[in-house]
Structure 1
Amino acid sequence: MKIKKNLLDVSKDYIDLNNHFKNSTRNIIRDLLDKIIRKNFYKIIYKNFFINQKYKFDLVLPSKGFSPLSRKKKLDSLKSIKNKKILLLGCGDGLDVISWLRFKPKYIEGVDLLNYSSSWLKIKKFIKKKQSYTKVKLYQKDILKLKTSKKFDFIISDAVFEHLTKLDKTMKHLCKMLKKDGMIYSSYGPLWYCFGGDHFSGRDNLKNGFNHIILKKKNYKEYVNKNIKSLKEEIKNFGAGGLFVKKNLFSKKTGNTYMKIFKNNNLFSVYTILEFCPIGLELINNDKKLLNKILLKNKKIDMEDCYLKSQIVYLKKNE
């Protein structure tokens, strides 16, 4: 998809910057419970939950079972973020930049396919007031047009890889920008064949959560047109789902394929977490006709692909 440089600014009218600068009491308690109780419990009950994933993974969690701060702390434990350079892909309105400041990186460069210029201006002013240590640059750019002469210690993204239509080419490009001892952290999902894998199906009715992979092209288009909102509303309330559908911005890969592409680009994951979708799992368990329809229409996938919602990976280059 090609997006004009001066696309309409899609920034929200109001963003709460202070809530992203400090960790809430609720999140602190949640992360503590996760560390002490839940993760150990999950390791036992979900030990054999995924049996057809052909790669090593370390933990299986229900959807949203690993908080944003815990993900960042995990990365920092694998390689110190302090004084390092970060490339943040799909930075959106820039709020996530604020949550990385606690780790004191030297520099953060954030890019997004969409234009959030007014939000980026607010973010940079806020950071200048709160913390002068980290230099920040935010701008609109296609990942494949980034200069490979720039080198980063970390390349970071959340909810980006599932939208890369040229995933293999993009990984090759990013590897050129990653320092030899650098790391790529990425969480991505919902994966295409999972419930709501198009970030759209099921918003009207949960039973329609697999429409993107079972409806005929014409019927799917009608379904989307019936439920899509304005660009502003899509971005504000639906995470730009309708825009992604209209522009067909999906990699359409299974979990196994993502890991194969990483391997082909000389990358391996030092720590991998899988999150499953309880809604998708319940739907296909309770409706065998639906499952049969999915598998008949998508012959190369496995039942697990219908509820493998996301992967969280910490990638390094093979030496």
Structure 2
Amino acid sequence: MYRVSFFAILLAGLLHSAVAGELLKDGKIEGLEKGAAVAPSSTLSGYPMYGGGGGWTFLRSSTGEAGALGNAEPVKTASLDVEQIEPDGSWFAIMFLRVNASTVGTAQYTTGSPCKGNFTYVVDKSVRTDDNCQALKASSYKSGTSERVYLSLLFTHTASAGRRIFMELRLNPELLGFRGTTTDSWSAESVAQNPARQKFIERLKQFGTKLQEANQSAIRFDKPKDAYAGVPSYRTLMDVSEDLADGTFSQQFIGAVESVRYAPGYKAIAYSKWGGNRISWNSVDEEESEAVAASKALENCTKNKRTEGTPCVLYDLKAKQNLMKTVTTQ
């Protein structure tokens, strides 16, 4: 669990100047610039928002209309995209939210099957024409010459009078301890053969079910403002050693440490600090012995660290408390 951290300090500053209250005014979402802080207490067309532990910043928004069945009146919609960016510039989470901005007297419902498809898992609680679906899908995008994977928790909720909540919570698996995965790594078949990913998916499913239940509560006509009160931050999906939670380590490094823990064979990770909580590191795995792994990690770290960085040290992968080795190279 996180204690006082660099993120918490940054979050306090964001919330102090965050945009709060109803974001949709006179049918429009205006006055928000990219990067503006959005308070967890904000609402969209009266609907409460999942706070994500705080720290959302504005990405984009739009308004429009959803297609109607027959001659029914179209349902107006409002969309909001927000993200959480780490101090080192890496993105941790993006939330895409789309809700109804009007209601209609004629029964409206989606004609698709949101819980059918090639997903890692599905939790379908739909009843007749009212959708209540959670699904997990791994996708990727190009970043330079690299393929970057992300995990999408997809939620579809519809109810009478044109009410709807469509949410995608997109998470960066690298910052959750899973570096170097592909979309195939997250297929149901692949997950079943990998204990580390299997344990994580079980935890993610439990978290997603809480979020699904909160969405289902939020879609009620009274739109309860505390609908998401019982949903924790997505950051709790990864256990963090106490020694890594003191605010002096970047989330990128924390994710790298957890990823190395899962790696096969003898492994090691060495790091150098520079500029606050910025860190450079190198890791190795599948080596012939602990000594060889430690030597290679330190050697690679020393070769690649920044000039102003501290001497490379080994992080003790066996430690879960404040145990950090200070073996250095000359």
Q: So what's the TM-score if we normalise by structure 1?
A: 0.25
- Normalised to the residue count of structure 2, the TM-score between the two structures is 0.25
Which structure has greater helix proportion?
Answer: 1
Q: Relative contact order: is structure 1 or structure 2 higher (C-alpha 8 Å, sep ≥ 6)? A: 1
